[in-house]
Amino acid sequence: MKSISPATKPKRQPAEPGRGLAWARKLTDRQVEELVGLAKTGRYKQVHLALKFGVTEGTVSRYLARHDARGRGGSLTERVEELHRKGKTPLQIQGILNLTAKQVVNALSRIRGKQSGGKTPRSG
């Protein structure tokens, strides 16, 4: 693992006015590609990538989950569907892909809609 010295640690940047200091910066598409590429090498821990790009470890984790640095590819819904077919529960899927409960529920709803010919029951 490569280490990053404290001297290279990025400074916190102000987020929106009135919200204090935060690691609030979004990454550009090019930065995300670089982050995913570095993660694929296996030489960097998420904490090191977070420091390098000036974001939180949670942000790195979400980018890697969305871009699936393990090389399986596919959309979020496809990955949820794959895990669901393998018998994983929504809670397990949430943990494996580092998603919110709402993201898992929405993906499963899209899957059910696709299976029923695009018609999903609406609650009202």
Please tell me whether residues 13 and 64 are part of one structural domain: yes
Please tell me whether residues 3 and 55 are part of one structural domain: yes
The arithmetic mean of pLDDT across residues 22-29, rounded, is: 64
Count of structural domains, the chain: 2
Please tell me whether residues 55 and 78 are part of one structural domain: no
Single-letter residue type at 17: P
Please tell me whether residues 56 and 103 are part of one structural domain: no
CA distance 26 to 54: 9
* pLDDT above 90 for 89: yes
Residue 122, classed as helix, strand or coil, is: coil
Residue with the two structure tokens 């006015």: 17
The CA–CA distances, whole Å, from 104 to 11, 25, 26, 86, 96 equal 34, 25, 23, 15, 11
Burial 25-52 (b: 16+ CB within 10 A, else e): eebeeebbeebbebbeeeebebebbbbb
pLDDT at 7: 52
Q: For position 22, which CATH number holds?
A: 1.10.10
Nearest-Å Rg of the Cα atoms of the chain is: 18
Alpha helix (H) ranges present in 46-89?
46-53, 57-67, 76-85
Domain that holds residue 87: 74-124
Which segment of 12-21, 22-31, 35-44, 91-100 scores lowest on mean pLDDT?
A: 12-21
Please tell me whether residues 54 and 107 are part of one structural domain: no
